[in-house]
Amino acid sequence: MESPLRLGTRASQLALTQSQHVADALTAATGVPVELVHISTYGDRSTEAINQLGGTGVFVTALRDALQQGTVDLAVHSFKDLPTSPSPGLTVAAVPPRQDPRDVLVARDGLSLGELPAGSRIGTGAPRRVAQLRALGLGLEIVPIRGNVDTRMGRVTSGDLDAVVLARAGLARLDRLSAVTEVLDPIQVLPAPAQGALAVECRADDTRVRELLAVLDDPAARACVAAERAVLAALEAGCSAPVAAHAELAEGEDGAAELYLRASVTALDGSDGVRSSITGPAAAAESLGRELAAELLDRGAAALMAASR
């Protein structure tokens, strides 16, 4: 029997669920066993607010170090946590099929966002969500929160908060969708770049693992994520910046895949923002992202991000 591949993962319930899903899919497709190796990251240990953690990579650096050192053979990340700059010697060998990237509301009494009265306390740890919720002008009190999915939802059931905003993808993977009271329309709250997608990373020179992981790669998910992350990279913004991006694929008139990309930058106090969209061939995903970012910068995105810092 082949020796198992060692998959590095954070030890949170969501990370373990995501990693086990990848491990099971890889074994089913290739017959190669996979064992999970728990790795603690700075982001897991810190109690600071997300935007105070010191930039991108706080949830992935330890995993990448383990890969570089040969402690593990592959690592599974929430793609939105990855810095946009590549890590030398590593490669994202697979982007599995993506979950629905939209945000959701989990509120008391089954309420929707529009039904919550002014002054309601809404929990979220993401500056992007804070900015977009404030921009809606609903008079909500935004409360910074940390913790796993159950901890966050528990603050609603305990009565401490009226609602929390979470990623639908995480709730789907944890079988918690029954708690959702509203799926937020991207017109109101645009998702984070790469939200709902996983990145399976390995050493670039490990040909065997790269070839094994290729069976898990979904070209549609990879193209959408590439476009969204190109916006983030061109804006020189990190995962804690109030930047949102969402790409969708459809069949164009010539039968080729066409990509529709939306992106926004919103002032943290919700007082101002810029949003735009672009359409083009899926094969040009990254260049579309850079082009859209350039338009946002022309319209004042840099000043909005600077003010948010």
On whether both 90 and 148 belong to a single domain, the answer is no
Predicted confidence band of residue 237 (pLDDT cuts 50, 70, 90): confident
Q: Is 175 left (phi over 0), alpha (psi -120 to 50) or beta?
A: left
Quick one: how many helices (H) and strands (E) in the chain? Answer: 10, 13
Please indicate, yes or no, if residue 189 is contained in any of the structural domains: no
- Shared domain for 210 and 281, answered yes or no, is no
In a domain, 190, yes or no: no
Residues 213 and 259 in one domain: no
How far apart (Å, rounded) are the C-alpha atoms in residues 19 and 97? 14
Residue 309: what pLDDT?
A: 67
Residue type, 186: P
Does a structural domain hold residue 191? no
pLDDT attached to residue 90: 97
pTM score: 0.90
In tens, the pLDDT along 258-293 reads: 999 999 999 999 999 999 999 999 999 999 999 999
Statement: residue 93 has pLDDT above 60: yes
Minimum mean pLDDT range among 83-87, 128-132, 164-168, 287-291? 83-87
Domains contained in the chain, number: 3
Question: pLDDT tens digits for 34-60?
Answer: 999 999 865 544 444 444 444 455 679
Q: Which of 84, 56, 85, 89 is nearest to 70 (CA)?
A: 89
pLDDT for residue 48: 47
Residue 128 in this model has a pLDDT that exceeds 90: yes
Pairing of the two strands 141-143 and 182-183: unpaired
If asked whether residues 92 and 209 sit together in one domain, one would say: yes
Q: Are 153 and 57 in contact (CB under 8 A)?
A: no
**Residue 115 and residue 176 in one domain:** yes
* Residue 174 belongs to a domain: yes
Task: Please provide the average confidence, as pLDDT, over all residues in the chain.
Answer: 92
Averaged pLDDT, 174-187? 96
User: Burial code of 177-203, b = ≥16 C-beta within 10 A, e = fewer?
Assistant: eebbbbebebeebbbbbbbbbbbbbbb
Question: Containing domain of residue 81, as a range?
Answer: 5-96+197-217
What pLDDT was estimated at residue 210? 98
CATH number of domain containing 118: 3.40.190.10
Mean pLDDT computed over 115-122: 97
pLDDT at residue number 204: 97
Helix (H) or strand (E) holding 275: strand 273-281
Angstrom CA distances, 229 to 102, 173, 222, 287, 304, stand at 16, 22, 10, 11, 19
pLDDT attached to residue 58: 66
87 within some domain: yes
Q: How far apart are CA 195 and CA 4, in angstroms?
A: 29
- Asked if residue 289 and residue 230 are part of one domain, the reply reads yes
Asked if residue 301 and residue 168 are part of one domain, the reply reads no
How many whole angstroms separate alpha carbon 126 and alpha carbon 108?
A: 21
Catalytic amino acids?
80-81, 128-129, 146, 152, 239
So what's the pLDDT on residue 219?
A: 96
pLDDT digits (tens, 9 = 90+) for 149-177: 999 999 999 999 999 999 999 999 999 99
> What is the pLDDT at residue 236?
85
Other Cβ atoms closer than 10 A to 307: 13
Q: What percent of the chain has pLDDT over 90?
A: 83
User: Residue 21: which H helix or E strand, with range?
Assistant: helix 13-30
Question: Quick check: is 67 in a domain?
Answer: yes
Percent of the chain exceeding pLDDT 70 equals 93
- In the predicted model, what is the mean pLDDT of residues 91-118? 97
- What CA–CA distance (Å, rounded) separates 158 from 170? 21
**Average pLDDT, stretch 68-73?**
96
**Which secondary-structure segment (H or E) carries 133?**
helix 127-135
Domain CATH for 231: 3.30.160.40
Write down the pLDDT at residue 46: 42
SS3 148: coil
Verify that 11 and 84 share a domain, yes or no.
yes
Quick one: pLDDT at residue 54? 46
280 part of a folded domain: yes
